[in-house]
Amino acid sequence: MKMHELTAHEIRVLLERGEVSPGEVLDSVLGHIQDLEPALHAYITLCPDDAREAAEQACKAYADKSAGARCGTGARCGTGGRDGAGALCGIPIAIKDNMCTEGIRTTCGSKILHNFVPPYDATVISRLKKDGAVIVGKTNMDEFAMGSSTENSGFFDTYNPWRKGAVPGGSSGGSAATVAADGAILALGSDTGGSVRQPASLCGVVGLKPTYGLVSRYGLIAFASSLDQIGPITKDVTDCALLLGVIAGHDPQDSTSAPVQASDYTTYLDKDIKGTRIGIPKEYMGEGIDPDVRRVVERAVAVLRGLGASVDECSLPHTDYALATYYLIAPAECSSNLARFDGVRHGLQTKGRSIEDMMSKTRRDGFGAEVKRRIMLGTYALSAGYYDAYYAKAQKARTLIRKDFEHAFKQFDVLLSPTSPTVAFMAGERVDNPLQMYAADLCTIPVNLAGLPAMSVPCGFSAGLPVGLQLIAPHFEEGGLFTVGHAYERATGWRQFRPALDWQASATPEQGPAPSDPSPATPEM
Ligand code: GLN
């Protein structure tokens, strides 16, 4: 196996033994990106120079630890550097382009931020750097994280490594696609209504949305602040536990950060699930779910039963209201959060006759159609006279949805469902039908409304495309997700199946997306 095909925990073993160096791991990943990107288009920006510097630092950390590591040139590293090597030291990671990275362009997938270079790091970024992780680039996404296919990117589409012309899901489509295709060992995404779990499911990788408040949102460009949460996208459950351990825990810079410390989530792996009570909400297995996806999930249920879990049906009766509730609350919050992009302080500025004219033209030119639609919907829902009828009513429905889960968790340790009602669809198939696009989040949105943690784990294939199993736990019970997810993963071994990437060779610029500014990151290394 080539190095870029390994998981973080596998690479970590080699790094510790001094069998490879962080520089060699990075070269393997960057070289593979160069082959992949012309067809995949997962990255908006690559930062090979910063990555090489981080790899050198990581090399010093391993040298300190064991005095045995080699640097990128094959020579032995000198001593010096940080105290010890963190869990992800020397591991190449991709970051969704809505997390601020000091000195590295952060576009949020929007033309309005096409030239924005943040002066500071998001908390997740500073924690990764402190741990020694190597950031390779910033990944494509639906503009301001609004979408389920990455087709709302202001720049270009990203494709699903499993099928030519299929979407990778969204909005963290670039992160999921590149991890699935080994263009990064790990990635971060953000999840407001499913944007980590749904693309993870469509690309056949693991994705976790942590409990609201467990991971700092400081430096995450806000979409809907009461729902947004950063989460890991990884090749397996063990890597997911490692990455969460690095980014989780209280941050005084984020007033919604919970007063909890990160724990070592790897202690929840390799455990028995005999007697674990698993509930299947019947509303998540009925109408709207592709029958073949349902069959695949039912097979996963049989595996869990075989491992000794007890599985029973349950009900979340207010599920029907979840999509409508979300599409009032999320646009309302986004209409207020996105008011700051007015051409004055950063990003795009279109000249105008007056300051109002400049602002309105900047927003006209800078925002795409979906973002404008959400701003209009949200402004309407918050406006005088409609606030009570729409926004306040949605808040009440949100409480009922949260109570449904509280009730279910009196009987069950973990709830289970498909992550997405369908497998990956073809690019262009849903762009003109926003309601069909919104339906992609049927099973994921209620989890965000309730602030719960949930994980998508690969559980098989339908028509040759990956299906994801969603596991949902009570607040701050991520440990239960790791235990059940890992037990399932070990029992099944879906990870052995990898995208053939055979469509790359035939991808021509005509068949691929038409890149606008910025064009897909050209790997010049
Ligand atoms: N697809 C949903 C939306 O468009 C969720 C997006 C997300 O989680 N960021 O709002």
Mean pLDDT is lowest, of 60-74, 371-385, 420-434, for: 60-74
CA 46 to ligand 1 centroid distance, Å: 25
- pLDDT of 143 > 90? The answer is yes
Which of 148, 337, 373, 436 most suits a substitution to test ligand 1, by most atoms within 8 Å of the C-beta? Answer: 148
Which of 97, 195, 372 most suits a substitution to test ligand 1, by most atoms within 8 Å of the C-beta? Answer: 195
Return the higher-pLDDT residue of 427 and 63: 427
CA 97 to ligand 1 centroid distance, Å: 15
CA 230 to ligand 1 centroid distance, Å: 13
Shortest-distance atom of ligand 1 to CA 440: 1
Q: Which member of 60, 65, 96, 235 is catalytic?
A: 96
Query: Tens digit of pLDDT for each residue in 371-419?
Result: 999 999 999 999 988 989 999 999 999 999 999 999 999 999 999 999 9
pLDDT mean across residues, the chain:
92
94 residue type, one letter: A
Residue 456 annotated to the active site:
no
CA 477 to ligand 1 centroid distance, Å: 23
Residues 214-242, mean pLDDT to the nearest whole number: 98
- pLDDT of 177 > 60? The answer is yes
Exposed, middle or buried by CB within 10 Å (0-12, 13-18, 19+), for 432? exposed
Distance CA 102, CA 113 (A): 15
Q: Which member of 110, 148, 195, 257 is catalytic?
A: 195
- pLDDT of 80 > 60? The answer is no
Q: Which member of 21, 126, 171, 216 is catalytic?
A: 171
Residue 195 annotated to the active site:
yes
Q: What percent of the chain has pLDDT over 70?
A: 92
pLDDT of residue 503: 63
Mean pLDDT is lowest, of 228-242, 368-382, 432-446, for: 432-446
Number of neighbouring beta carbons within 10 Å of residue 298: 12
In the sheet that holds 206-209, the strands lie side by side as 43-46, 134-139, 92-96, 186-191, 229-234, 206-209, 454-462, 465-472, 414-418, 277-281, 310-314
Sketch out the chain's domains with CATH numbers. Answer: 3-318+400-496 (3.90.1300.10)
- pLDDT of 331 > 90? The answer is yes
pLDDT of residue 40: 97
Asked if residue 304 lies in contact with residue 412, where contact means CB atoms within 8 angstroms, the answer is no
Distance CA 412, CA 426 (A): 36
Would you give the DSSP letter of residue 250? -
Q: Is 191 in the pocket of ligand 1 (CB under 6 A)?
A: yes
Residues 235-263, mean pLDDT to the nearest whole number: 97
What's the angle, vertex CA 55, arms to CA 51 and CA 60, rounded to 5? 150
pLDDT of residue 509: 36
- pLDDT of 514 > 60? The answer is no
Residue 351 annotated to the active site:
no
- pLDDT of 73 > 50? The answer is no
- pLDDT of 118 > 80? The answer is yes
Distance CA 490, CA 458 (A): 12
- pLDDT of 191 > 70? The answer is yes
pLDDT of residue 523: 45
Shortest-distance atom of ligand 1 to CA 330: 10
Q: What share of the chain is helix, strand, coil (3-state, %, to 5)?
A: 40, 15, 45
Asked if residue 316 lies in contact with residue 283, where contact means CB atoms within 8 angstroms, the answer is yes
- pLDDT of 517 > 50? The answer is no
φ, ψ (nearest 5 deg) of residue 99: -110, 130
CA 148 to ligand 1 centroid distance, Å: 6
Shortest-distance atom of ligand 1 to CA 191: 8
What's the angle, vertex CA 196, arms to CA 116 and CA 11, rounded to 5? 90
pLDDT of residue 79: 34
What is the rounded radius of gyration, in angstroms, for the C-alpha atoms of the chain?
22
Residues 195-210, mean pLDDT to the nearest whole number: 98
Residues 24-39, mean pLDDT to the nearest whole number: 97
- Cα distance between the two ends of the chain: 23
Looking at the DSSP bridge assignments, the partners of residue 190 are 230
